[in-house]
Structure 1
Amino acid sequence: MNHLRFLHYLDEVARVGSIRQAAERLHVAPSAVNRRIQDLEEELGTPLFERLPRGMRLTAAGELFVNYIRSRAAHLEQVRSEIEDLHGLRRGRVRIVVSQAAAGAFLPERIAGFRAKHPLVEFQVQVGDHSRALDALRTFESDLALIFHLTPEAGIERIDEMQQPLCLVMHHSHPLAAQPGPVRLRQCLDYPVVLPTRDIAGRQLLDAYLAKRSIKLRPAIESNSFEFLLGYLQHEQALSFQIEIGIARNNGELVHREIADRGFPAANLVLASLQNRQLPVVAYAFADYLRGTFR
């Protein structure tokens, strides 16, 4: 299907904004990419890109054509999956975007469980925030998204969701770890705090709660990497906050405690897809499997 490969050239240029970078990612000559774009523009009778000093930008016609390419590629994946399913095989690829909190332990365990039953299925997993996940769904780059605290969005179907509490996390040698039950927030004020950056859902929930109760937690460290934050707790008697299933096991090095303060926030882990899109058979099967684990 060479014609689909040539359409992919245009899609890749649209994603990276450069013929040279697209050619490097596609492992072809820049001249070949440029020639295919020119051929398409001649066939359609309109420019698909604006040629700018610092790269390529889609025209309005280009936006329409790229959306067509992506929807066609997604439909082809669906048809391939259905053809393979006719032979009783669960082949194919599941493409999913997942938030950091579910990427460390929750999703790997579910993928391993699914592949134990369907070892021929491949997975393409991207870690991203809300905007990245929504963009990937809308551009047919991903079949599914597994995101925390996903607010209602036009054109996005919430397949299922599971509530998760926001917990206090610390090293097992931390003084508060000796307390078996829930911890009060004011007990945390005597220790340094390391927190996610403000663009991350868990931090937004925490900040909104603290603002209503005149409690200030001044982070000693902020990071957009959950792996870094949890790793840091092994080197200082600091505290952090994380969704319960996002707490890496770390061979028992870290422990978590619920917060006793009334109304302390929780967030929903949402499994979502593009509304009115018929998923490939194998992606639908994995979504159904995930829903079962939510129970």
Structure 2
Amino acid sequence: MNHLRFLRYVDEVARVGSIRQAAERLHVAPSAVNRRIQDLEEELGTPIFERLPRGMRLTAAGELFVSYIRSRNAELDSVRSQIEELKGRRRGTVRIVASQALAPAYMPGAVASFRRAHPLVAFEVIIGDHLQALEALRAFDVDLALVFNLPPEADLETIAHFDQPLVALMHHSHPLAGRPQLYLRDCADYPVVLPDRDIGGRQLLERFMMRSSVKLRPMVESNSFEFLRGCLYYQHAISFQIAIGAVTDGGALVTRQIEDRHFPRGKLVLASLRHRQLPVIAHAFAQHIQQTLGPQEA
């Protein structure tokens, strides 16, 4: 299947915008990459790249051609997966994009438990927000997305969604950790550390506070959940996280439900690209996710 290898040259140049960088990633000579691109352009009768002083950029024809390459590769992955299934072996690579909240605990556990039953399966996991998830699905970089509050789109197929409450996260020695009931106004008396405004949980909290008299003024904002957890060890700080991402660091941290009426909840959405036939192994992992996360929201 040498022709597929040559198509990969085009895809890699499109991704990195450089023949030299693509050649390094592909472990081939830059001249070989350039020659194959020229051969394809001659066969198609039109340029697929603009040659710029600092790299390569797809032409309109090139955009169409790369879309064809990626969809064809996705179909080939599906066929390969079905062939392995016929042989009685579940193998291949599951490619998934997941929310940052799932990175510390849920995704490693789900991957490990799936691989115990299917040890020949490999994983490529991208951590990103809903915008990165949409981009990765549409570029055929991943088979599945498991992302918090992924918005509905015409080209997306929602496989399942799971209710996720927003909870307070704090050190076990925090004065509020032992309270029988906790309200948002109680948290306002302590330093608050929050995810930045691009994070779904922060957006839920902001929308709730717009309707509430309670205002939280964060002393720290960050796009790193790991950093925010570290802040909870100092100055009686409090953070907020969706329940599945509220990692307690072996009991050092505790989660608390907020009792305010209508305190926000969101959805963890499992999705794929509509009308795309998933590889057998990706479909099996989607089923595994549904089993590990329990009944989906009605």
Shorter chain as denominator, the TM-score bin is over 0.9
Flag structure 2 segments of 5+ consecutive residues without an equivalent: none
Q: Distance in 1 between the 2:248 and 2:260 partners?
A: 25
Query: Does the residue aligned with 1:175 lie in a helix, a strand or coil?
Result: coil
**Is the contact made by 1:148 and 1:270 (CA closer than 8 Å) also made in structure 2?**
yes
2:49 equivalent in structure 1: 49
What SS does structure 2 have at the residue aligned with 1:81? helix
Shift of 1:273: 0.3
- SS of 1:72 mapped into structure 2: helix
- The separation in 1 between residues aligned to 2:181 and 2:39, in whole angstroms, is 66
Return the alpha-carbon distance in structure 2 between the equivalents of residues 58 and 154 of structure 1. 26
SS of corresponding position for 2:278: coil
The residue aligned with 2:112 is 112
Q: Which amino acid aligns with 1:90?
A: R
Cα distance, 1:236 vs. partner? 3.1
Contact 1:94/1:283 (<8 A) preserved: yes
Alignment of 1:99-178 (within 5 A): 99-178=99-178
* Paired position in structure 2 for 1:274: 273
Tell me what 1:77 maps to: 77
8 Å Cα contact 2:193-2:239 kept in structure 1:
yes
CA distance in 2, matches of 1:38, 1:174: 65
Partner in structure 2 of residue 40 of structure 1 = 40
- 1:60 equivalent in structure 2: 60
Q: Which 4+ runs in 1 deviate beyond 3 A? A: none
Question: How is 1:176-215 mapped onto 2 (pairs within 5 angstroms)?
Answer: 176-179=176-179, 181-215=180-214
State the distance in 1 between where 2:31 and 2:273 align.
35
Shift of 1:294: 2.5
> Residue 93 of structure 2 aligns with which residue?
93
Structure 1 residues 183-228: Cα deviation after superposition (integer angstroms, max 9, x where no partner): 1111111111111111111111111110111322111111111111
Deviations 1:81-125 (A, max 9, x none): 111101111111110000001121112111111111111111111
3-state SS, counterpart of residue 167 of structure 1? strand
* RMSD between aligned residues: 1.1
Unpaired segments ≥5 residues, structure 1? none
The answer (yes or no) to whether the contact 2:160–2:290 under 8 Å persists in 1 is yes
Aligned counterpart, 1:9: 9
Distance in 2 (CA, whole Å) between partners of 1:205 and 1:51 is: 45
Q: Post-superposition shift, 1:229? A: 0.7
Q: Residue 260 of structure 2 aligns with which residue?
A: 261
1:115-162 Cα deviation digits (max 9, x unpaired): 111111111111011111111111111000000011111100010011
Q: Is the 8 A contact 1:161 1:294 kept in 2?
A: no
Question: Residue 219 of structure 2: SS of its match in structure 1?
Answer: strand
Q: What's the TM-score once normalised by structure 1's chain length?
A: 0.97
* Structure-1 separation of matches of 2:23 and 2:247: 38
After superposing the two structures, state which structure 1 stretch, 229-238 or 160-169, moved more.
229-238
- Please tell me the residue identity of whatever aligns with 2:76: L
1:18 is the counterpart of 2:41? no
Shift of 1:293: 2.0
Q: Secondary structure at the match of 2:177?
A: helix
Instruction: Give the 3 Å change call, closer, same or farther, for CA 60–152 of structure 1 in structure 2.
Output: same
Letter of the structure 2 residue corresponding to residue 232 of structure 1: C
* Count, aligned residues: 294
Distance 2:200 2:136 in 1: 18
Shift of 1:59: 0.8
Q: Return the offset for 1:53.
A: 2.3
Alignment of 1:232-247 (within 5 A): 232-247=231-246
Q: Distance in 1 between matches of 2:32 and 2:283?
A: 37
Structure 1 position 55, deviation (Å)? 2.0
Q: Tell me how far apart the structure 2 counterparts of residues 20 and 236 of structure 1 sit (CA, whole Å).
A: 50
Native 8 Å contact 2:248 2:255 kept in 1? no
- Distance (whole Å) between structure 2 residues aligned to residue 21 and residue 210 of structure 1: 47
Note if contact 1:156-1:275 (Cα within 8 Å) is conserved in structure 2: yes
Corresponding residue of 1:27: 27
